[in-house]
Amino acid sequence: MLKRVLSRSYTTIDRWNSIITTIESTGGKYKYVAKDNILHKGLTTCASEILSNFESPYDATVIELLNKDMDLIGKANLDQFGMGSATANTIYGTVINPLFEDDDYITGGSSGGSAAAVAANLCDFSLGTDTGGSVRSPASNCGLYGYKPSYGRISRWGVIPYAQSLDTVGIITREMNVMKEVFTILDQYDDKDPTSMPQDIRDKVAKAVEVRNRERNGKYVFGIPEEIIVEELTDEVKYKLSLVIEKLLDLGHTVVPVSVPSIKKSISTYYAIATSEASSNFSRLDGIRYGKDHNFEGGDETIRGNRSKGFGEVVRKRIVLGNYSISADSGDFYSRAVEVRQQISKEFNEIFYLPHQMTNPDGLFEDPSKVDFLVTPATINKPLKISDYIKMEENSMDELTNDILSLPMSLGGLPAVSVPIKDKGLDISTQGIQISGQYGDDYSVLDMGDKIIKEMNM
């Protein structure tokens, strides 16, 4: 199977529909695949008809950094432009979860191809993008580590944007040591990316973390936001969360309930912001400036026809929603959503012990009862069968419920990692636990995720 994957063809190759293009290996330390919205010198389609013939003339910064020692062997399938939660909205076919043999299950999305490639041992790690959970969810469903960094920590230059104020490049691995090694390579300031975290902020975060760690002396405070304990959480998810809490208490840490009230508004806030930014970003994809031209006659017909034929149904719906959100008729949805987002960030800052080095760089460690990390489920349930997912799509609110676990961290720009906890009585994990921390505290979040798994002998 691996031999077939490494053949250089531009097709959907393997059973899991995860690799959509393959690239010749040159013998680097690790082999990896990149989600097909991350540019490399070659075909980059975003799993869409409108970019099906687009070849990038340059590599994204993350590709440049990794290709010094690693081998990019393929591009991974995704929900078109990152819009979806099952990797089913794609011209290459729905991605199938490699963990299951009895039936075809979803991976989650939108980085489902990236997760499937790692789960199927086709590569050592993969790159995805996480706008609202798009790395953490499929990683959780495929029994992997899935990491979303603090916003701006990894360069976005060369990533085709969905919602630029939320997009982050994330990493999916089977092993945490590989995750840390890859992140260390990518954790660099990039002057080509205007949203890249400045070096002085990185230095301030490192110094503040040193102070926090010295004062905590190895014993940390973990918070569980009350707002994420929703009715839809399955008993299996609650059981895994309780296992982690018990282990943390056994190790001498403190676990406390916390409240971030505006989390309840995160779904509506996210979709107002994300769709508004997407509608603006995708305006250039008209078949004239960018995108495939289907040779319609007349200017208006050309643009309308190219976009109608080139975008899938989900993308078209979100563009329409975004156009409305930034229109005069909406009542200023976008601006109101930005205000709620700011409130969510403020509420997160109020519960963390570590000061936020962008908004409160002079903050002092005054209240040791505040938390160092948050621990939450990564998904509300196990992966669905593809047939069941198709039925569920008829009620879009069911699909959105999962987002309540991942969207708050995206809106706050916080680092978060999904770690695999084995299913009861089985050797696989299909539901992860999410560890998140204060803005910039990425290495601590990864270390804590690693320690939890090691201590639980998973």
Location of structure tokens 């769709």: 275
In whole angstroms, how far apart are CA 335 and each of 332, 341, 443? Answer: 6, 10, 33
How many other CB atoms are there within 10 angstroms of residue 49's CB atom? 18
Could you list the beta-strand ranges (E) of 359-438: 373-377, 416-420, 432-437
Question: Which member of 35, 240, 292, 370 is catalytic?
Answer: 35
Tokens at residue 55, please?
A: 């070849």
The answer to whether residues 76 and 114 touch, using CB atoms and an 8 Å cutoff, is yes
The answer to whether residues 176 and 451 touch, using CB atoms and an 8 Å cutoff, is no
H helix runs in 120-198, sequence order: 136-141, 176-186
**CA gap 137, 144 in Å, rounded:** 10
**CA gap 331, 335 in Å, rounded:** 9
Location of structure tokens 């003339």: 57
Question: Which member of 48, 134, 140, 266 is catalytic?
Answer: 134
**CA gap 306, 295 in Å, rounded:** 8
Q: Is 9 among the catalytic positions? A: no
Question: Which member of 18, 48, 85, 110 is catalytic?
Answer: 110
Who contacts 333 (Cβ-Cβ below 8 Å, separation ≥6)? 272, 276, 324, 325, 326
H helix runs in 370-419, sequence order: 386-392, 396-401, 407-412
The answer to whether residues 132 and 166 touch, using CB atoms and an 8 Å cutoff, is yes
Q: Is 110 among the catalytic positions? A: yes
**CA gap 428, 423 in Å, rounded:** 6
- Return the closest-CA partner of residue 278 out of 329, 335, 319: 319
Structural element, H or E, at residue 278: helix 266-281
Q: Is 134 among the catalytic positions? A: yes
Look up residue 105 and give its DSSP letter. Answer: B
Q: Would you please indicate which residues are annotated as catalytic (active-site) residues?
A: 35, 110, 134
